Amino acid sequence: MDFELSQEQTMIYEYGASLAKTYDRAYWMEHAERRAFPEAMYKQIAADGFVGTIVPEAYGGAGLGMLEMNLFMEGLSNQGIPLLSLVIGATMSLGPIGVHGTEAQKQKYLPAACKGDIRFCFAITEPDAGTNTIRATTIAKPAANGRFKLNGRKTYITDGKESDYALVVTRTTPHTEVKRKTDGFTLFIVDTKAKGIEMHPIPVSVPVPEVQYQVFFDDVDLGPEDVLGEVGKGFDILFECLNPERILVGAISCGLGRFAMDKAVAYANERVVFNGPIGAYQALQHPLAKAKTEIELSSLMTRKAAWLFDQGLPCGAESNMAKYAAAEASIHAVDASLQCFGGNGFTKEYGIFDIYPLARLFRTAPLNSEMVLNYIGEHVMGLPRSY
């Protein structure tokens, strides 16, 4: 067993620290508050080769694995500058296109996406299905001419309008007409500017630079060239996207927790209100030390899950545990940090409370902690299903 990172992996992990010299937390927050995508930062990340981290070299990527993507995202998040679009676009969309796309699709989308010229969003959540994807009703009905008409609604689609393409999870057969509940799903690559698509922003109270949208599909014309993988077999591809999503959300959570704690440690070593720095009080020190322990444990699990994924080994248990533990650790870390800052923690100047909403989001999205625990209880431990 080898826990040491290679020279290249160390460089990838440290990339965030060097990027933050130009695009720091203040830059990120300024964009988050305006809900403006940080184009310059994204272009720089693309130019430095990180948008295409997991894309094969033949299509403009770096040809690396989920472990490297995980290190890259953790490194950005350590600086408080994570981008959700690197999870939903660069990983959950470019990853499956690289594996399941036709040659034409790979040529059309991957090199341009790696260069940062086009972006992808990922659309699965529906207002009436929510966590229960099986009940999705957005449908691409096959027509006699071999084409499809897409109708339905998606919600909370991050970076929807600003993206050029959406990887859309649809049904091609309604859930009432399939033998197995996971049958009848198809993934489509949809041009977000196509006729019949309308998007409305959802005012979300989490400061992130990406906007979330309600997306309406009204008879959107799609062709066989837009299908990713096989018609009716989309759920298998969807499944492959979910573990990477959990791993990277774990990585972001670990990084955000560290970012908050680094600030808290510096402050608690300086601030004196009675005798000596407040960092000496165990009532402040122990919650920080506990959170630090939880963060480092979760970070190890995200790396293990990523490594298993890269080996083609089952990683559902590890990915879910990593996501759950990292989300909790990050919430504890931000909370413990906030307490150190007293009133200052709630100011814009110190920027600690601002970290909380995103850290807290990851207990609920992309998959709520209850469903993660359901997975662990049922699939890892063999307990009966409750729902």
Regarding 374 and contact with ligand FAD (CB under 6 A), the answer is: yes
Question: Smallest gap, in angstroms, from Cβ of residue 367 to ligand FAD?
Answer: 6
Regarding 122 and contact with ligand FAD (CB under 6 A), the answer is: yes
Nearer CB in complex with ligand FAD: 162/308 = 162
Regarding 156 and contact with ligand FAD (CB under 6 A), the answer is: yes
- Tell me the CB-side half-sphere exposure of residue 99, using CA atoms within 13 A: 15
Among 116, 250, 257, 366, binds ligand FAD (CB under 6 A): 366
Regarding 130 and contact with ligand FAD (CB under 6 A), the answer is: yes
Among 99, 134, 368, 376, binds ligand FAD (CB under 6 A): 368
Regarding 124 and contact with ligand FAD (CB under 6 A), the answer is: yes
Q: Which stretch binds ligand FAD (CB under 6 A): 74-82, 233-241, 335-343, 361-369?
A: 361-369
Regarding 361 and contact with ligand FAD (CB under 6 A), the answer is: yes
- Tell me the CB-side half-sphere exposure of residue 354, using CA atoms within 13 A: 19
Nearer CB in complex with ligand FAD: 71/166 = 166
Regarding 157 and contact with ligand FAD (CB under 6 A), the answer is: yes
Regarding 367 and contact with ligand FAD (CB under 6 A), the answer is: yes
Regarding 370 and contact with ligand FAD (CB under 6 A), the answer is: yes
Regarding 93 and contact with ligand FAD (CB under 6 A), the answer is: no
Mark residue 297 as left, alpha or beta (left: phi above 0; alpha: psi -120 to 50; beta: remaining). alpha
Question: Smallest gap, in angstroms, from Cβ of residue 88 to ligand FAD?
Answer: 5
Regarding 131 and contact with ligand FAD (CB under 6 A), the answer is: yes
Question: Smallest gap, in angstroms, from Cβ of residue 131 to ligand FAD?
Answer: 3
Among 112, 194, 365, 376, binds ligand FAD (CB under 6 A): 365
Cβ distance 37 to 91 under 8 Å? no
Q: Which residue in the shown chain puts its C-beta closest to ligand FAD?
A: 130
- Size of site (CB under 6 A) for ligand FAD: 24
Three-state SS letters, the chain: CCCCCCHHHHHHHHHHHHHCCCCCHHHHHHHHHHCCCCHHHHHHHHHCCCCCCCCCHHHCCCCCCHHHHHHHHHHHHHCCCCCCHHHHCCCCCHHHHHHHCCHHHHHHHHHHHHCCCCCEEEECCCCCCCCCHHHCCCEEEECCCCCEEEEEEEEEEECCCCCCEEEEEEECCCHHHCCCCCCCEEEEEEECCCCCEEEEEECCCCCCCCCEEEEEEEEEEECHHHEECCCCEHHHHHHHHHHHHHHHHHHHHHHHHHHHHHHHHHHHHHCEEECEEHHHCHHHHHHHHHHHHHHHHHHHHHHHHHHHHHCCCCCHHHHHHHHHHHHHHHHHHHHHHHHHHHHHHHCCCCCCHHHHHHHHHHHHCCCCHHHHHHHHHHHHCCCCCCC
Regarding 95 and contact with ligand FAD (CB under 6 A), the answer is: no
Hey, which residues between 192 and 221 contact ligand FAD (CB under 6 A)? 204, 206, 212
Regarding 88 and contact with ligand FAD (CB under 6 A), the answer is: yes
Regarding 344 and contact with ligand FAD (CB under 6 A), the answer is: no
Nearer CB in complex with ligand FAD: 371/376 = 371
Regarding 123 and contact with ligand FAD (CB under 6 A), the answer is: yes
Phi, psi at 102, each rounded to 5° = -75, 165
Question: Smallest gap, in angstroms, from Cβ of residue 290 to ligand FAD?
Answer: 24
Q: Binding residues for ligand FAD, per CB under 6 A? A: 88, 121-125, 130-131, 156-158, 204, 206, 212, 361, 364-368, 370-371, 374, 387
